[in-house]
Amino acid sequence: MTATQTTTDLRSAIDKGNRQLIEALSNRDIAMIRECYTTDAQVLPAGFDIVSGRQAIGEFWSGALAAGVASAKLETQELAEGGDSAWEVGRYRLHGADGGQVDHGKYIVIWKQEGGKWKLHRDIWTTSVSQPA
C-alpha cells in the first residue's frame, strides 16, 4: 500500500497529474485547472460545502488564487490503485506571490481515469498550521 509497492506506471501518471495541477495553479489557468479534474469531480474544502463539477471547481480555485495563493508544491506520500480508481495521501505547501509559505498541510486525492488520463476525482486537504482555539 506504499508508493514503492505501486506500479511505476500509476506513479508516473499521478506525478504527471500533480505537475499539471501545479502548473495550472501557478499560471492561474482556470481552464487548465478544470481539465485536471474529472467532469464529475468534487473538491471538499474547509469553510465551504462540497464543490461539485468542473465549473464550480474552477470558480473555487479562482477565488483561492485571488485570495493570495501563487504556487503549490505537492509531495506524494502514498499511492494505492484499486478498481478504476486510485487513492493518494500527500503533503502540500502553498506559497504567496512573494514566495513566502502561506499554508502547509496534507491531502487525500481519489484519482480516476477519464479519456485515458488520470484526473483528480475527489480532493480534500487540511492545513497543518495550528488553529486558534
The footprint of its own copies on residues 2-31 (CB under 8 A) is none
d(CA 77, CA 61): 23
Binding residue for its own copies, selected from 110, 113, 114, 117, defined by CB under 8 A: 110
Q: Which residues contact 133 (CB under 8 A, 6 or more apart)?
A: none
User: Which residue's CB is nearer to its own copies, number 35 or number 114?
Assistant: 114
User: Which residue's CB is nearer to its own copies, number 27 or number 46?
Assistant: 46
Minimum CB distance to its own copies, residue 63 (Å): 11
* Cell numbers 482555539: residue: 133
Amino acid letter at 34?
R
* Cell numbers 499554508: residue: 103
Regarding 85 and contact with its own copies (CB under 8 A), the answer is: yes
